[in-house]
Copies of this chain bind each other. A is one copy, B any other.
Amino acid sequence: MESEEYTKHYIVTALFKLMHAYEYEKIKVTDIAQKAGVGRATFYRYFKGKEDVITYYFEHRTREFVFGQRIYPRCKEDYVKVVSDVFGVFEANKEPFQLLKRAHLSDLYLNFLNKNFSEMFAEEHPDKNPYLPYLYAGMLYNVSMQWLENDCKEDIQTLAALIVDAIY
């Protein structure tokens, strides 16, 4: 008898393996269970459905997405640094983000950016327009996602320059 965590792990990795070969929508619960070597009922005992598997995976590694030091940008160089940092973490987790996107769960990342930028701005400039962090988060999020669509082929400096030039 396996531990519950092991069973979950088998299921998660099975889905990821399948997602390398097949389109997310085409993958059926039966396929995942078979690949994981468990019964379909077992799958449903641990997960509500396919999407729940992805959510589970990301909830267990959200910490890795936190970008290094939360410096508040005071000059153009700081802006470049923060923006490059965000893109850097994104690129380092390219594959998980591709899975997120395919599962229509990318907004979890946007929520994450919103939360972090809001806190950053609130600490430093409580007086500033409260929508400003969302403005930054939104453009970083969307550019990141389109960058991902292009398989992150442009280098980070180019993207960072685009962002910073546009807002500075």
Contact = CB atoms under 8 A, between A and B. Distances in A.
B143 A162 contact: no
Number of copies of this kind of chain in the complex = 2
A102 to B, nearest CB: 12
Contacts of A106: 107
A135 interface: yes
A3 B148 CA distance: 41
Given A129-B162, A132-B162, 8 more contacts: A107-B107, A114-B142, A114-B146, A131-B159, A134-B145, A135-B163, A137-B142, A138-B143
Interface of A: 104, 106-107, 110, 114, 129, 131-132, 134-143, 145-147, 154, 159, 162-163, 166-167
